[in-house]
């Protein structure tokens, strides 16, 4: 009967860790590419791209001026539904 040793399992563990690390890096790189498609575009290029929105410059409440920039449009359905506050707790209170 052959008893598994740490040395024989280390190769399997190392391969598993490498596969998981590679998968993580690929998914992170895809997210950064998707997030950066509009970043740095000039107004004309941004306005002509359907997936981008041009944000005009504005001043925050504390007086800091934010320069105009291009960003990705929000995805439809990305907002979570807000629970209806009028129905909250009605089932608990009967009377």
Instruction: Identify the band that residue 48 occupies on the pLDDT scale cut at 50, 70 and 90.
Output: very high
Please give the pLDDT value at position 84.
67
pLDDT tens track for 49-93: 899 999 999 999 999 999 999 999 887 765 666 666 665 555 555
Q: How far is CA 94 from CA 83, 86, 88, 89, in A?
A: 21, 15, 13, 10
pLDDT tens track for 9-35: 777 788 887 777 777 666 555 544 555
Q: How far is CA 45 from CA 15, 36, 52, 76, in A?
A: 44, 14, 9, 22
Please give the pLDDT value at position 55.
94
Sorted by sequence, the CB contacts under 8 Å of residue 47 that are 6+ apart come out as: 54
Q: In this structure, are residues 42 and 54 in contact, taking their beta carbons and an 8 Å threshold?
A: no
């Amino acid at each position: 009967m052959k008893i598994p040793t740490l040395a024989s399992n280390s190769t399997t563990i190392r391969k598993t860790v490498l596969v998981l690390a590679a998968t993580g890096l690929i998914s992170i790189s895809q997210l950064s590419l998707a997030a950066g498609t509009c970043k740095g575009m000039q107004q004309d290029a941004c306005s002509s791209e359907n997936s981008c929105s041009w944000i005009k410059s504005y001043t925050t409440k504390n007086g800091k001026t934010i320069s105009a920039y291009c960003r990705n449009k929000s995805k439809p359905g990305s907002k979570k539904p807000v629970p209806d506050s009028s129905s909250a707790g009605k089932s608990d209170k009967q009377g």
